[in-house]
């Protein structure tokens, strides 16, 4: 399992920050996230790369996970992400990431 150091991100209301993480979806892994702190300070959307980026890739290839964080109002949150198989409750994630987000 890999735990990355946490990173600090500063945004202003209306700004967007996009996070792209390598995923192993073809092997059953997914990124899940949770926040601590002022969750109303940001809006978080999870998605996939655009279809045209995935065109021509071999069937069964994993696609990266995209997270878009939109700053809503001043506040501070910690965004914690885990890369794991959701049905393997007894196993630790293969990777964890943490981002401290401040909206000024």
Strand ranges across the sheet with 42-47: 16-21, 65-71, 42-47
C-alpha angle 49-53-58 in degrees, rounded to nearest 5: 105
pLDDT per residue over 36-71, tens digit each?
999 899 999 988 766 666 666 666 677 788 999 999
Query: pTM to 2 decimals?
Result: 0.81
Mention the CATH class of domain 2-52+61-103: mainly beta
Is the per-residue pLDDT at 1 higher than 50?
A: no
Please state, in angstroms and rounded to a whole number, the distance separating the CA atoms of residues 89 and 51. Answer: 32
Backbone dihedral region of 53: left (phi > 0), alpha (psi from -120 to 50 degrees) or beta? alpha
Q: Where are the domains of the chain?
A: 2-52+61-103
């Amino acid at each position: 399992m890999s735990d990355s150091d946490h990173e600090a991100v500063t945004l202003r209301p209306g700004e967007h920050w996009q996070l792209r993480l390598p995923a192993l979806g073809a092997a059953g892994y997914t990124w899940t996230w949770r926040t601590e702190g002022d969750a109303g300070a940001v809006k978080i959307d999870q998605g996939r790369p655009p279809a045209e980026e995935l065109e021509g890739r071999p069937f069964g290839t994993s696609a990266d996970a995209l997270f878009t964080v939109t700053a809503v109002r001043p506040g501070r949150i910690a965004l914690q992400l885990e890369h794991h198989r959701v049905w393997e409750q007894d196993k630790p994630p293969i990777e964890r990431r943490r981002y401290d987000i401040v909206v000024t």
